Amino acid sequence: MYIIAIIVFILGLILGSYVNSLIWRLANDISFKGRSQCPYCRQKIYFYDNIPLLSFVFLKGRCRNCKQKISWQYPIVELSLGLLFVLVFLNIFDFSILSLEDMWAQLKAGDFWLLLRNWLAVFLLTIIFVFDWRYLLIPVNLLIIFSPIFWLLNILNGVTWWWPLLAAILVAAFFLFQFLITKGKGLGEGDIYLGATLGFLFPLHQELIVAILLSYFIGSIVGILFIIFKKKKWQTKMPLGTFLVIGSILSMFFGKIIWQSYWNFFL
C-alpha cells in the first residue's frame, strides 16, 4: 500500500508541474500546445529541466540558460499537489486495515468516483488559489469546464441529479447578492462562478456551508493580520477566491466533522 501512496504522490507532483505551466499560459494568454519555456529568456525547457522538485534543486533555483531565479511557486505548488493527492487518497482508504483486494472492492463499490472527484477538485482549486492570489482573477473558463464534470461524478457516486444544481444556484445567488450590494467591491464576478462550481462539487449542504464559513473566517483573520502589520489597507481588495479554496479543501477533509461537532456543542 505504501508503494501506491508513493505512486499517487508522484502523480500529484507531475500534475503540480502541469498546474504551474497552465497558470503561466493562462495569465499570458499563451497556447496550451508546445513545450514549456522560461518566462524571462523564452528558451524551451527540456524534459530533464522540468522534473518536479528535482530540477529546481539541481538547477539551484535558476534557469539553465539565462540564470534568472525560478519562482518558489513552482516547487511549492508541485509539493502541495503531491501531498494533497496522497491526503485525498488516505481520506478514502485506510492503509492500516485495507489490502489491495479490499481497496479494489471499495473502488468498484463507488468510491472510485469520489476519489476522482476529489483529485480533480484539488487540481482545480490549486489553480484557482495561485491565480487569484497572484492576479486577483479567477479563470472562469476552467470553472465552466469542471462544473459539469463534478456534477456528473456526484451523480455516479449516488447523489440525486438535481441536488448539485440546486446547491450551485443557491451559492451563486448568495455571491451575486453580495456582488450587487457592494457594487463589485466586496467580491468579483469570478467568485460568483466559483460559488456555483463549489455547489456542484459539494452537493451535501454540510460540506458546502462549512467551506464558505471557513473561507470567510480565514479571510477575515488574514486581512486583519495584514492590516496590523501594515501590509494592506482597509480599502485593499483581498482575493476571496483564494480563501474559498482554503475553506473548500479543509471542508473536503473535515467538513462533516466540523458540522457534527458544531451541532453537538450547541444541542
242 pLDDT tier (thresholds 50, 70, 90): very high
Residues 249-259 have pLDDT tens digits of 999 999 989 99
Whether residue 197 sits in one domain with residue 227: yes
203 pLDDT tier (thresholds 50, 70, 90): confident
Q: With CA atoms as reference, report the closest residue to 191 among 243, 240, 154.
A: 240
Q: Average pLDDT, stretch 96-113?
A: 72
Give the end-to-end CA distance of the chain in Å, rounded to a whole number. 41
Q: Which amino acid is at 255?
A: G
pLDDT score, position 234: 47
Alpha helices in the chain (DSSP H): 2-27, 54-58, 73-92, 100-106, 112-135, 140-156, 162-181, 189-201, 205-228, 240-266
Higher pLDDT, 108 or 78: 78
Higher pLDDT, 264 or 157: 157
Whether residue 142 sits in one domain with residue 128: no
Residue 230 has pLDDT above 70, yes or no: no
Whether residue 259 sits in one domain with residue 222: yes
CA distance 207 to 91: 15
Q: Average pLDDT, stretch 74-80?
A: 97
Tell how far CA 215 is from the center of its chain. 13
> How many domains would you assign to the chain?
2
Whether residue 146 sits in one domain with residue 133: no
Of 88, 105, 137, which residue constitutes the final position of a domain? 137
Whether residue 261 sits in one domain with residue 153: yes
Q: Average pLDDT, stretch 202-207?
A: 88
pLDDT score, position 36: 82
Whether residue 160 sits in one domain with residue 105: no
pLDDT score, position 249: 97
All three cell numbers of 109, joined, read 463499490
Residue 57 has pLDDT above 90, yes or no: yes
Q: Average pLDDT, stretch 202-216?
A: 92
Residue 2 has pLDDT above 80, yes or no: no
What does the angle CA 192 – CA 120 – CA 32 come to, to the nearest 5 degrees?
85
Whether residue 236 sits in one domain with residue 117: no
CA distance 34 to 28: 15
Residue 185 has pLDDT above 70, yes or no: yes
Backbone angles phi, psi at 69, to 5 degrees: -70, 140
Residues 17-52 have pLDDT tens digits of 999 999 999 998 888 777 788 888 888 888 888 899
pLDDT score, position 97: 58
Whether residue 244 sits in one domain with residue 112: no
Sequence-ordered list of residues with C-beta below 8 angstroms from that of 182, at least 6 positions apart, any chain: none
pLDDT score, position 214: 96
Residue-number span of the structural domain to which 77 is assigned: 1-137
Whether residue 2 sits in one domain with residue 88: yes
Residue 267 has pLDDT above 60, yes or no: no
Of 137, 155, 175, which residue constitutes the final position of a domain? 137
Whether residue 171 sits in one domain with residue 127: no
Give percent above pLDDT 90 in the chain.
63
Whether residue 126 sits in one domain with residue 5: yes
Give percent above pLDDT 70 in the chain.
92
Whether residue 120 sits in one domain with residue 214: no
All three cell numbers of 74, joined, read 513552482
What's the Rg (C-alpha) of the chain? 20
The pTM for the full model equals: 0.92
158 φψ region: left (φ > 0), alpha (ψ -120 to 50), beta (else): left
pLDDT score, position 187: 85
Residue 92 has pLDDT above 90, yes or no: no
Of 103, 137, 171, which residue constitutes the final position of a domain? 137
